[in-house]
Structure 1
Amino acid sequence: MPRDFAAQHRLDATDGQGRQVNLAESPLSRLAAGETAFLQPHHLEAGERVRRLVERSLLQPAVTMNYGGVVSGGGHRVGAGDLADMAVDARRTLDAIHRALPAECAGVVMDVCGWLKGLQEVERDRGWPRRSAKLVLRIGLEQLAQHFGLGPHAVGKTRVPQRSWMDGERPQMRF
C-alpha cells in the first residue's frame, strides 16, 4: 500500500513554462487522457493558461486567513502594489479572452478551466442537454488555442544554424 495517499492520485506534468502542475485536479485531464483523447495537448495548454490567469487575477475568494505578506523567490516580501499589478494584468488578459471568444464558449471555458466546474454542473446550471457542454468547451478551447498562437503541431524551422561562441566568433559589443 502506498504511503502517500495524495501522491498516488497525482498526475504530474510540466506546463509550457517548465512548471510542475497536477493535471488530475483539472476537469480537462480526463478529456485529454487516453489514446482517443477528446482534447489535444494544445487544448489542454490553453485551458491551463486560463486556470493560471484566474489564479493570478485574484478573482477567487480567499478561504483562509493570510497572516503575512507573500514571499517571492528571492526571499523578499512582495508589496501589495506588485500583487495588484499582477492581478490587473491577468484580468486584462481574461477580458481579452472574453472578447475573442463567442459568449457561450467564453462562459464554458471560464467555468471549466477557471472555476474548475465539472461539465455536468455546467450543463445543469445552463439548462443544456447532456454532453453539450463538452462540445462547446472543445470549440472554445480550439478558438482559445488559436488566440494564444497554439496549434496541434509544432511550427518552425526544421533546422537552425549553429551558433558558436569560440574565440574570434564572439559578437563585437559597442557601448
Structure 2
Amino acid sequence: MGTRTIEEQGRTGGHVTVNEAESPLGWLRRRKGTDGKPLINDAQYEAGERLRRDFTVAGLSPRLTSNWTQTARGRRRRSGPGDNTACEIQDRALAARQRYFRALERVGPELADVLVEVCCLANGIEAAERSLGWPQRSGKIVLQLALTRLARHYGLLACPTRTTAPSRIRHWGRDGFRPSIEGGGEATGME
C-alpha cells in the first residue's frame, strides 16, 4: 500500500491510499535490475501513471457490463440553472482524452502499443508481449524506451543535448562528378 497526493489543475486535493501492486509499473519500480537500480526510474513511473490517469478520466477503459448511465440520468431530477457539474465532468474527460492522444502521438505508433497495454490496461509485460506478438523478454526494454520518451513529452526528463557540432553533408563523388546541363546533346553519363 502507498500514499499518493491528488493534484488537479494545479491544486492539491488531498492524500489517498492506493494498492501499488495493482499496477505493473509499481512492480517494475520496486524490482531491481542486475545493477541494483530499479527497472524504471521515478520519472518513467510518473509518466506512465499520468498516462493511465488521463486514460481513466477520459473514459477510454473497456466496459465489462451494460451502461446504465443514460437510464439513471433520465430518472434523476433536473438540477438548477447554476449547476454545471455535468459540463465540468465532460470538459475534464475531453481534456484528458486530448492529453492522452497527444502523448501517444508524441511517443510514436511503434511505442504507443506497449504503453497502452501496460500502463492503461494494466496487463503484465508477458501478457503485453503475447498480445503484441513480440518475442519473449523484449517487452521490458521496449517499455523502458517508451516510458523514457513519454517522460520527455511530459517534461519529467530533459532531452539530451548534442555535445558535437552537426556534421556536414558528405558524398563519395570526386570534384566535378556531377553532369553538366550545358552542352549540346553530349552524353552526360546518365544514360
TM-score between the two structures when normalised by the length of structure 2? 0.62
Which ranges of 4 or more aligned residues in structure 1 deviate by more than 3 Å?
15-19, 62-69
Partner of 2:49: 48
Q: Equivalents in 1 of 2:107, 2:90: separation in Å?
A: 26
Shift of 1:81: 2.0
Aligned length: 136
Q: CA deviation at 1:44?
A: 0.8
Aligned match of 2:161: none
Among 99, 102, 106, the alignment partner of 2:108 is 102
What secondary structure sits across from 2:101 in the alignment? helix
Q: Which amino acid aligns with 1:51?
A: R
Q: Secondary structure at the match of 2:3?
A: strand
Instruction: Give the corresponding residue for 2:58.
Output: 57
One-letter code of the match for 1:90?
A: A
The counterpart of 2:26, out of the listed 25, 29, 32, is 29
Counterparts of 1:77-88 in structure 2, within 5 Å, are: 79-88=85-94
Change (3 A) 1:39 1:16: farther
Q: Distance in 2 between matches of 1:43 and 1:16?
A: 18
CA 1:63 to 1:83, structure 2 compared with 1: closer, same or farther past 3 Å?
A: farther
Helix, strand or coil for the counterpart of 1:14? strand
Where in structure 1 are there 5+ consecutive unaligned residues?
1-10, 70-76, 153-175
Identity rate, percent: 32
Counterpart of 1:115?
Answer: 121
Q: 1:13·1:23 contact (CA, 8 Å) conserved in 2?
A: no
Could you tell me whether the CA contact under 8 Å between 1:39 and 1:138 is conserved in 2? yes
8 Å contact kept, 1:104–1:136: no
Q: Does the C-alpha gap of structure 1 residues 100 and 121 become closer, same or farther in structure 2, counting only changes over 3 Å? A: same
Cα pair 1:43 1:142 within 8 Å, conserved: yes
2:164 paired residue number: none
Offset of 1:122 from its aligned partner?
1.1
Helix, strand or coil: the match of 2:30?
A: coil
Structure 2 stretches lacking a partner, 5+ long: 77-82, 159-191
Residue range with higher mean Cα deviation, 35-44 or 57-66: 57-66
User: Match of 2:115, SS?
Assistant: helix
Letter in 2 for 1:49: R
Moved more, 18-27 or 85-94: 18-27
Matches within 5 A, 1:129-140: 129-140=135-146
Q: Which has the larger radius of gyration?
A: 2
After superposition, the CA RMSD in angstroms is 2.6
Does residue 14 of the first structure (1) align with residue 4 of the second (2)?
yes
